[in-house]
Chain A
């Protein structure tokens, strides 16, 4: 590897005196300050700022309508058009989950159920949102298109127990999703 010798730039007298650069710096910082106060900072519009700098002030203003398609929020279970819970508790998501946030207790579907041929469904499906890292691996690994990362990001709670999403909560977040592959529906 060749040695490249870099020459330091020769400074002229004005640059050596340094005060000019100082004053230039003051103008730069003050122009930023004034633009911030007038809400005209660079990028303020694109970032939907609050009118002070480029910052969006959170509880009053939300990023919700700017969220990209691929945003990965809280994972949730979905039901399909027939109202069937799509999860068959194969537990692949539980096994792949890197922080081990998912806990599933599988159960058999009773034979008098119209979906008895699916055989299994989760009795309990818990995601510990303190552990969840929103990686989306559960969504990727699911063979039944049953678990999706939705756009919910405000997962809060006053105690640890609040942060565990149980099956009911997961379906509440997930809701119904249409247009998925109908693996178990003969009618199509």
Chain B
């Protein structure tokens, strides 16, 4: 009986978090994308689709700022002809869209959506699977997305999708390393891989990028924490940019760049299969933002030492603190999605060699040096002054040598003349 209740709770969580929140954030972010890009470009954007009350005899339609637009888009894609070209490799062609959507949705399970809620004395964590390898699980599963893209490119059996698929693979390899290395300082700092505990720690002791409270009261960070802000910020930059590359968003959307590759890996796809690629991309964006928020910006925490206070709020024996925290998390999530969109409509796409150089020459080394820097700062209280000095000198030498190597390798070869 206990097992059944446990199962029911898990299924409820899956339905609410995966289908209720993440999947409904996908059309919402599509809507935001269209409206935000419109106002950036001095346009209006979709503001018409609503509930057509005039059809039912009312005076005015209910526009609701065009929020129903994504539903219309989805319906359109659903009703379109699902065309499978003759020349494709059918099995993989059918498998690929699923392979892009599913990993993005699986990774939802380790994201903590809010602080634990208590219903009539029973405490329940707002995370589907509270496992101790949070970020590693996300990386390992999210990397599978690239198989979907590559398979789509290969199975389409035509040149543009193929180039898109190959590009996606190359891009993934060059950015996964930076992605993985960049969060090592963060994990060193927390000393934990459980995302729920990481967020709880941030709620108590200040967010990683905003360490202005300690043990539930506002205070300036001590020297060590303040110094750690530097590697934390570098890690944040590299991690965010790598997430952009991982989710194939502008400025790294080379696998599907319309101007070069028609539609990239999904050129040959139509109808709902195309929509699944679309959904996978946006779901990956949602999950990526959620991960960044969880690791660097305090997850569900409201911050400024208010979390412990909020958590105690109760209405009729049901702790509502968890729901307030969930609202906070979703606010942050939507804010970060808007940032993703802003970047997309601001930054032009990188050229392919620039992208490779950025991944291998800049971010890989920067992340590596950042690991040592963070380790030195974290270990400093236990070390004597001399060792710290030697470490700092070694680090500076290492940095300079890396910069020198990067500079030398950058030198353009002399143009050969006939």
Interface residues of A (CB under 8 A from B): 22, 25-26, 28-30, 32-33, 35-37, 41-42, 44, 50, 52-55, 57
Task: Mark interface residues in B337-357 (1 if CB within 8 Å of A CB, else 0).
Answer: 000001001110000000000
Contact with A along B344-378 (1 / 0, CB 8 A): 01110000000000000000000000000000000
Contact surface of B with A, Cβ cutoff 8 Å: 36, 38-44, 342, 345-347
B122 CB, nearest partner CB in chain A, Å: 46
State in angstroms the CA–CA spacing of A25 and B40 once bound together: 11
Give the distance in Å from the alpha carbon of A137 to the alpha carbon of B40 in the complex.
Answer: 41
* CA of A62 to CA of B44, assembled, Å: 16
Q: Which residues of B contact A54 (CB under 8 A)?
A: 42-43
Contacts of A26 in B (CB 8 A): 342, 346
Partner of B43, one of A25, A29, A35, A53: A53
Write the chain A residue with the least CB distance to B38.
A53
Q: A32-B39, A33-B36, A33-B39 are in contact. Are A50 and B346 (CB under 8 A)?
A: no
Once A36-B39, A52-B39, A53-B39 are accepted as A-B contacts, the answer to whether A28 and B44 lie under 8 Å apart by CB is no
B342 cross-chain contacts in A, Cβ below 8 A? 26, 29-30
Q: Report whether over half of chain B's contact residues are helix, strand or loop; otherwise say mixed.
A: loop
Q: Give Cα A41 to B43, complex, Å.
A: 9
B156 nearest CB across to chain A (Å): 34
Residues of A within 8 A of B43 (CB): 36, 53-55
The 5 closest A-B pairs by CB, nearest first: A53-B42, A36-B39, A25-B346, A41-B42, A55-B44
Q: Which residues of B contact A30 (CB under 8 A)?
A: 40, 342
Kindly state the separation between the CA atoms of A30 and B41 in the bound complex, as whole angstroms. 10
**Closest chain B residue, CB of each to CB of A56:** B44
- The distance from the CB of A118 to the nearest CB of chain B, in whole angstroms, is 50
Q: Contacts A52-B44, A55-B44 given: A22-B39 contact, CB under 8 Å? A: no
| Residue from A29, A36, A41, A53 within 8 A of B346 (CB atoms) | A29
Q: Which residues of A contact B38 (CB under 8 A)?
A: 36, 53
| 5 A-B pairs (CB sep. < 8 Å) | A28-B346, A29-B342, A29-B345, A32-B39, A32-B41
Complex contact B40–A50 (CB within 8 A): no
CB pair B347 A36 closer than 8 Å: no
User: Of the candidates A22, A28, A32, A57, which one forms a contact with B42 in the assembled complex, judged by CB atoms under 8 Å apart?
Assistant: A32
